[in-house]
Amino acid sequence: MTKWDKFFDEKIREIAKEKIIRDIGGGVAFKKGLAGYEDIFKGKDYKILDYNPKYHPDILGDIHNLPFEDESVDAIICKQVLQCALNPNKACEEIYRVLKKGGKCYVEVPFLYCFWCNGTCEDYYRFTEKGLRYLFRKFSSIEICPIRGHLETIANLFPYQNKFPVNVFVRLARLMDTILEKYQSKKQVSGFRALVIK
């Protein structure tokens, strides 16, 4: 398990300990890497919010104007959503507003990553670590984990990464990143995962 996968696992388990959980921009429940975690959310008030009715979310709404009372939510998942928001700063202010004091938000954003647009949402932004820290500046703490090293980030930009021989290069790049980790900046990466606490 990679460091960033371990970070994801630990932080999603922390989120799942909370009672009122909103998965903002989650589309369909337990997608976007959450499929193996459905059991730990049982018995929780876990709901999906999405602006696209096509996904049949529990709550139809916009991240720029969350339909929740102030300080009413224990935890939020915001995985690969902020790059699709027209105003990420406003979106983060809304997350701050609706979280209870001590509430947690798991966030994931791209940095050096392919442009994508699947027709159901747009792709507007990429985020540096400093940019992510600025967006969540009002929060009491922010813990950030980079996704991929330098070489795997480059390999990840190639098309057909799941096909031979590109997938061999991706695996080799990950191995080389592990060997060269102490010489690499943690800022030239594919993206970032973070846990922020209000």
pLDDT digits (tens, 9 = 90+) for 41-69: 999 999 999 999 999 999 999 999 999 99
> What's the mean per-residue pLDDT of the chain?
91
What token pair was written down for 127? 């985020």
Q: Tell me how far apart the alpha carbons of residues 33 and 164 are, in angstroms, rounded to a whole number.
A: 23
Q: Between the ranges 135-144, 152-161, 163-172, where is the mean pLDDT highest? A: 135-144
Position 1 scores a pLDDT of 85
Q: What is the pLDDT of residues 99-108, one digit of tens each?
A: 999 999 999 9
Q: Indicate if the pLDDT at residue 141 is higher than 70.
A: yes
- pLDDT: which is higher, 175 or 48: 48
- Of all residues in the chain, what percent carry a pLDDT higher than 70? 94
Q: Between the ranges 27-31, 34-38, 89-93, where is the mean pLDDT highest? A: 89-93
Domains by residue range for the chain, with CATH: 3-149+185-197 (3.40.50.150)
Poorest-confidence range of 8-22, 26-40, 161-175, 178-192?
161-175
CB-side exposure of 92: number of CA atoms within 13 Å?
A: 23
| Max CA distance (Å), the chain | 51
Q: Tell me how far apart the alpha carbons of residues 100 and 104 are, in angstroms, rounded to a whole number.
A: 8
- Of all residues in the chain, what percent carry a pLDDT higher than 90? 67
Q: What's the whole-number mean pLDDT along residues 118-123?
A: 76
Q: Indicate if the pLDDT at residue 118 is higher than 70.
A: no
Determine the straight-line distance between the first and last CA of the chain, rounded to whole angstroms.
29
According to DSSP, the residues that pair with 191 across neighbouring strands are: 110, 147
Position 119 scores a pLDDT of 67
